[in-house]
Amino acid sequence: MGASEGVFTSNISPEDWVEDPDVPGSEMHELLHEDGVWAGLTRILSVDGPMAWTPDHRETVHVLEGSVRIEVEGRSPIELRPGDIASFPAGVPMTWHISTPFKELWFFNTD
């Protein structure tokens, strides 16, 4: 939809998803990427195995569909299901074991 004086809105149709260059096999829908915030949705319809991920910035996720077990280096695994919210610091290596279909809302603090 767009932005009006700093207010961002979106409505997602099947055509609005694009390949995510940072996460192979996933698609994303970006809401905003400015003012120190990057926000959007990711969906994964199929996986070939665990996915390694190390965020460059603090990442906060809200699981909307599916589930994921996240192995965080040096910590106990985290299980997330629809409705769960988690936040990860920048630079922490993780391995995501995703149950598909999977959909998440995500926010990065890019400042």
| Residue 72: strand pairing partners | 94
Residue, of 32 and 16, whose pLDDT is higher:
32
Boundaries of domain holding 15: 2-109
Total domains in the fold of the chain: 1
**pLDDT value, residue 22:** 82
**pLDDT value, residue 4:** 64
Contacts of 67 (CB under 8 A, 6+ apart): 79, 80, 81, 82, 98, 99, 102
% residues pLDDT > 70 (the chain):
95
**pLDDT value, residue 79:** 98
pLDDT > 60? residue 27:
yes
**pLDDT value, residue 11:** 82
Pairing of strands 94-109, 51-53: antiparallel
| Torsion from C-alpha of 20, 33, 54, 88, nearest 10 degrees | -130
The CATH number linked to 59 is 2.60.120.10
% residues pLDDT > 90 (the chain):
68
pLDDT > 70? residue 35:
yes
For the segment 53-107, what is each residue's pLDDT rounded down to a tens digit?
999 999 999 999 999 999 997 899 999 999 999 999 999 999 999 999 999 999 9
From the list 63, 1, 68, 56, the residue with the least C-alpha distance to 30 is 1
